[in-house]
Amino acid sequence: MQLFNIVLACLLYVPFISCFSQESIQLTELAKESENFIIEIHNSDISILDGPRDYYTVLIFTTSDPSHNCKQCENVHKFITQVSNSWFADHSESHMLTFINIDLNDKKNGKLFNMVNLQTVPHIWLIAPNPSLEYGNPNKIFEDPYLEFKVPQVSTDKQALEFAQFLSDQLQRSILIRDEDMLFKFAKTFIITFSVIVIIRKKGPSKLTATRKKTVVSLLAIAVMLLYICGYQYTVQNAVPFIAKNDKGEVIFISGGQHYQFGVETFIVGANYALLAASLLSLTYIGKYKVNERSVISSENNKILLVTLNTVAVYLLYSCLTSIVLRKDHNYPFGYTKLF
């Protein structure tokens, strides 16, 4: 019975394997031997793509030469690496897709760039199968129609998702992007946080170390809550710059878009909320304060002055918040004094 099952499995496996061409299988094996499953082209030799193709081809025209100073090429390498690793993790036996990198760091690859009249990098082409090609001229692949992936100006993670979706739409195969650095990120965050806590406990001022744990935890919770409310997660996920400059070289602290913000805005708005809350608490405390001979506030006049100063502070801080909103939405109807 066991022998029968083995024979049956072999009979089923043989026609399944015969569906794939020898070339596609060889490319898959070559990809498995290549870093991140991306096959590198050298000396303009693309003979591995010669003949009929029953597989899709991703052609990456890029450069890793530091003298070319191509920052976008670095991003392209990062997100394509994510996608190629994810594809081969799930679909390596499909032999449907191969990733080919043509890098100008190898000067002899310039011949291929000239052949397709490319003067800039990076470019990402997806070329469909063409089983009707004959052997003898691998450069024929450049005569086939292709789809070009336009790299969106978003974070690397989102670029990977967009590229994966681009491939999925054409190949009808889902690609699950795996973040291989999650464990590393967790470990790094844990070590940094733990180290800061230990340093504060061991080396911090006596007043800080003597503070009740409940108070410290409460302050940390409020700080974290303010960061997330004010858009910390957005800036991390979209890899937005911390600060920017306009065409005149002037620093921009507040962006003008309703659906965008710089990293520094997280701290500006967070600090504004914290100061506004502190001013309100201070105003409430001073308003209820009992003036007597032994009190810190020596007279009612001083109390009135402090109440007035706190009231002005609350107004200015709230005006600062509404000014930020007005910078992003000029039709906001509830603004106070416009400070900037």
At CB < 8 A and 24+ separation, what contacts does 290-298 make? Answer: none
Contact criterion met (CB below 8 Å) for 282 and 248:
no
Domain contains 267? yes
Domain co-membership, 29 together with 148: yes
Q: Is 252 helix (H, G, I), strand (E, B) or coil?
A: strand
Domain contains 31? yes
Domain contains 176? no
Range of the domain at 277: 211-328
User: Structure tokens of 140?
Assistant: 């024929």
Domain co-membership, 155 together with 40: yes
Q: Examine the pLDDT at 67 and tell me if it is beyond 60.
A: yes
pLDDT of 212 reads: 66
Where residue 26 sits, what CATH number does that domain have? 3.40.30.10
pLDDT digits (tens, 9 = 90+) for 149-187: 999 888 888 899 899 999 999 998 888 886 655 566 667
Our count of domains for the chain comes to 2
pLDDT of 150 reads: 94
Longest dimension (CA), the chain: 103
Domain co-membership, 144 together with 227: no
Domain contains 337? no
Residue at which a domain ends, from 122, 139, 171: 171
pLDDT digits (tens, 9 = 90+) for 222-261: 888 888 788 877 777 666 677 777 666 677 788 776 667 7
Domain co-membership, 128 together with 273: no
Domain contains 159? yes
Contact criterion met (CB below 8 Å) for 20 and 95:
yes
Nearest-angstrom CA–CA distance, 95 and 27:
8
Domain co-membership, 140 together with 229: no
Spell out the alpha helix ranges (H) of 100-204.
Answer: 110-115, 156-171, 182-203
Domain co-membership, 242 together with 160: no
pLDDT digits (tens, 9 = 90+) for 99-148: 999 999 999 999 999 999 999 999 999 999 999 998 999 999 999 999 99
**Which residues does 329 contact at the CB level (< 8 Å), separation at least 6?**
258
Domain co-membership, 230 together with 166: no
Domain co-membership, 46 together with 153: yes
pLDDT digits (tens, 9 = 90+) for 44-60: 999 999 999 999 999 99
Domain contains 188? no
Contact criterion met (CB below 8 Å) for 180 and 85:
yes
Q: How many CB atoms lie within 10 A of CB 98?
A: 25
More confident position, 18 or 71: 71
pLDDT digits (tens, 9 = 90+) for 187-231: 766 787 777 777 766 665 555 555 566 777 777 788 888 887 888
Domain co-membership, 163 together with 35: yes
Domain contains 182? no
Nearest-angstrom CA–CA distance, 63 and 70:
7
Reference 240, options 222, 259, 218, 262; nearest CA is 262
At CB < 8 A and 24+ separation, what contacts does 74-77 make? Answer: 75/151, 75/156, 75/159, 76/122, 76/124, 76/151
Domain contains 104? yes
Spell out the alpha helix ranges (H) of the chain.
Answer: 2-17, 22-33, 71-91, 110-115, 156-171, 182-203, 206-209, 213-229, 232-237, 263-288, 300-328
Give one word for 63, left, alpha or beta, with left for phi > 0 and alpha for psi -120 to 50.
beta
Reference 68, options 33, 104, 117, 102; nearest CA is 104
